[in-house]
Amino acid sequence: MSFIVIIPARLASTRLPNKPLADLGGKPMVVRVAERAALSGASEVVVATDHAGIVAACEQHGVQVRMTRSDHPSGTDRIAEVASSMGLAADSVVVNVQGDEPLIDPALIASTASLVKNGVPMATAAHPIHEAAEIFNPNVVKVILDKAGRALYFSRATIPWNRDGFGGSTAAVPAGYTALRHIGLYAYSNAFLQTYPTLALSPLEQVEALEQLRVLWHGFPIAVHVTQDAPAAGVDTPEDLARARRHFIHH
C-alpha cells in the first residue's frame, strides 16, 4: 500500500534549542529522521517547517522540504497544510513522523500506515509495558483497545486499573497484567487530516493534555498497531542527544 511521510520540524524547543539541526554523525537530526522514514517504503518523505535554516539543511542533503506558515498550533496542522499544498487524493495515507525520532523503526511506520482504510481514518502505535514505575507514571501515556484493535481511550492514568491486583500495593505488577504504552506516531487518510484541524477542542484532551482524545471524543476510530518492542526513545534532552550521537558514531 502507498503512503507518504511528512515530518513536522520547528526550531522552537524549550529544552533543546535548534534541536532539528543538532548534528548526528555529520548530518542534522531532521535529515537522519527523513533517511529512516525513507526506509519504510514511503512513496515520498517531506519535511514541513517554518524555518529557513531547516529548509537549507534539508536541501543540502537532498531531502524534500516545504515551507509552512509559522502560526500552526500543532504539528498536525502543519502537516495538513503541506498535504493540502501537495494536492493529495482524499484517500492518500499520510504518516506524521516526529522530527526528533532519528532512530525510529521504518517497519513501525509501514505497519501503522497499513491500518488506515475505509472507515478507519487514523492509526497509531503502542507497545506492552511491564514495569510498575512506567505503568504508574503519568508521563507515560497508556491506551486500551477494543477487540478489533481500536483505541477505546488514551490516558496518563493507569488503565486498565487492576482492581484486585493493585488493591494491596502498586509496587509490583500482578501476574498476567499488561498495560500498553502509546507511541506518538500517527497515520491519517488525507481527507481526515484536512478535517482534523477543524474539529473543536474536547474537554477530555484539555483535562489529560492529550491531543488524540479529540479524535475519539468526536466519534472517529483510531486503529492501533501493537509492536512487542519498545521503540528507541526520541530526543528531548541533552542526555537523549548524547545517546543518539553515540548510535550514529558506532554505525
State the pLDDT at residue 144: 98
C-alpha cell at 193: 487530516
DSSP, res 5? E
pLDDT digits (tens, 9 = 90+) for 21-30: 999 999 999 9
State the pLDDT at residue 13: 61
Question: Sorting pLDDT into bands at 50, 70 and 90, what band is 68?
Answer: very high
pLDDT digits (tens, 9 = 90+) for 199-239: 999 999 999 999 999 999 999 999 999 999 888 888 988 88
Q: Count the domains in the chain.
A: 1
pLDDT at 12 over 80: no
State the pLDDT at residue 75: 85
Helix (H, G, I), strand (E, B) or coil at 166: helix
State the pLDDT at residue 16: 80
Give the range of the structural domain holding residue 194, as residue numbers without chain letter.
3-246
pTM of the entire structure? Answer: 0.93
pLDDT at 116 over 70: yes
Question: Sorting pLDDT into bands at 50, 70 and 90, what band is 57?
Answer: very high
pLDDT at 70 over 70: yes
Residues 6+ apart with CB under 8 A from 58: 30, 31, 34, 47, 49, 64, 65
pLDDT at 14 over 70: no
Query: What's the CATH code of the domain at 225?
Result: 3.90.550.10
Pairing relationship of beta strands 23-24 and 27-28 according to DSSP bridges:
antiparallel
C-alpha 157/C-alpha 124 separation (Å) is 19
Q: How far apart are the first and last CA of the chain?
A: 30
In a domain, 40, yes or no: yes
Q: pLDDT > 70: what percent of the chain?
A: 98
Task: Give the residue among 145, 101, 111, 117 at the shortest CA–CA distance from 236.
Answer: 101
pLDDT at 62 over 70: yes
Segment 110-124 shows an average pLDDT of 96
**Please, what is the average pLDDT of the chain?**
93
State the pLDDT at residue 251: 62
In a domain, 251, yes or no: no
pLDDT digits (tens, 9 = 90+) for 135-144: 999 999 999 9
Q: Is the peptide bond before 160 cis (omega within 30 degrees of 0)?
A: yes
In a domain, 99, yes or no: yes
Q: pLDDT > 90: what percent of the chain?
A: 78
C-alpha 114/C-alpha 97 separation (Å) is 15
State the pLDDT at residue 64: 97
